[in-house]
């Protein structure tokens, strides 16, 4: 074979190699484009439909308010969101007492009172309440008794492990609200301030507080 024929053969071989390489590249591009298109056309699963949130579990609580004559404590039963025995749960109960009754009873704490803190120490719970407890209290010995024992009895009735309550006002120990009930020591619950048994004519039985 002459040199010229050899050069032509090598040139033809290079051309064939280039054409085959180009065809291979085109095949790779076509395959890639096919898979990309398939991925784009793949159906997207619908987002799960969320149902309504489950209703919170409730529990019955007892709140003590004054009767219409302001003489006794009367229990009001209602339902509140169930919660563990902890600071937020006790706070919510006290705030419900501050908000007042839902029946024809009389509040025992000023509505402007705020719960500043709740602290536990054994069987004693310490409540730090705002100065409104004192400045907005109507005064009077019976009114003050009903305020203090309405609070203590409400806590003991719903949390039996709490036997007494220590009341602070704006973080400070006070002698009393209006000079009648000593608040320098914790106050135990005392259910003797509840409404006495009634006779058939609606009057208290003999021997009970008039």
Q: Burial code of 189-208, b = ≥16 C-beta within 10 A, e = fewer?
A: beeebeebeeeeeeeeeeee
The vertex-129 CA angle with 102 and 94, nearest 5°, equals 30
pLDDT band at 195 (very low <50, low <70, confident <90, very high): confident
Q: Report the number of distinct structural domains present in the chain.
A: 1
Give me the mean pLDDT over the 4-30 stretch. 64
In a domain, 158, yes or no: yes
pLDDT, position 84 = 87
In a domain, 53, yes or no: no
Domain assignment of residue 117, given as a range: 58-193
Mutual orientation of helices 87-99 and 141-158 as an angle, nearest 10°? Answer: 140
In a domain, 3, yes or no: no
Whether 102 shows a pLDDT value over 90: the answer reads yes
pLDDT, position 106 = 97
In a domain, 85, yes or no: yes
In a domain, 10, yes or no: no
In a domain, 138, yes or no: yes
pLDDT band at 191 (very low <50, low <70, confident <90, very high): very high
Average pLDDT, the chain: 84
pLDDT, position 2 = 63
Whether 200 shows a pLDDT value over 80: the answer reads no
The two tokens of residue 114 are 């705020």
In a domain, 89, yes or no: yes
Contact of 152 with 160, CB cutoff 8 Å: no
In a domain, 123, yes or no: yes
For residue 119, report the phi and psi dihedrals to the nearest 5 degrees.
-135, 140
Whether 18 shows a pLDDT value over 90: the answer reads no
pLDDT, position 156 = 96
For the stretch 31-82, pLDDT in tens is 566 666 655 555 566 666 676 767 779 999 999 999 999 999 999 999 999 9
The two tokens of residue 31 are 């395959």
pLDDT band at 196 (very low <50, low <70, confident <90, very high): confident
Whether 14 shows a pLDDT value over 70: the answer reads no
For the stretch 36-47, pLDDT in tens is 665 555 556 666
pLDDT band at 184 (very low <50, low <70, confident <90, very high): very high
pLDDT, position 207 = 42
pLDDT, position 85 = 85
Is the pTM higher than 0.75? The answer reads no
């Amino acid at each position: 074979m002459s040199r010229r024929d050899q050069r032509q053969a090598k040139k033809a071989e290079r051309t064939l190699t280039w054409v085959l390489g180009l065809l291979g590249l085109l095949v790779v591009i076509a395959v890639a484009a096919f898979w990309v298109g398939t991925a784009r056309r793949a159906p997207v699963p619908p987002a799960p439909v969320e149902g309504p949130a489950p209703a919170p579990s409730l529990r019955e609580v007892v709140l003590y308010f004054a009767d219409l004559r302001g003489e006794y404590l009367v229990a009001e039963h209602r339902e509140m969101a169930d919660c563990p025995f902890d600071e937020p749960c006790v706070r919510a109960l006290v705030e419900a007492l501050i908000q007042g009754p839902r029946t024809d009873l009389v509040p025992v704490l000023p509505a402007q009172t705020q719960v500043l803190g709740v602290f536990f120490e054994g069987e004693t719970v310490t409540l730090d309440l705002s100065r409104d407890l004192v400045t907005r209290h109507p005064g009077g010995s019976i009114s003050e008794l009903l305020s203090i024992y309405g609070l203590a009895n409400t806590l003991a009735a719903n949390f039996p492990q709490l036997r007494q309550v220590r009341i602070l006002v704006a973080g400070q120990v006070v002698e009393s609200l209006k000079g009648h009930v000593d608040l320098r020591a914790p106050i135990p619950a005392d259910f003797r301030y509840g409404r006495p048994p009634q006779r058939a004519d609606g009057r208290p039985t003999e021997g009970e507080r008039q």
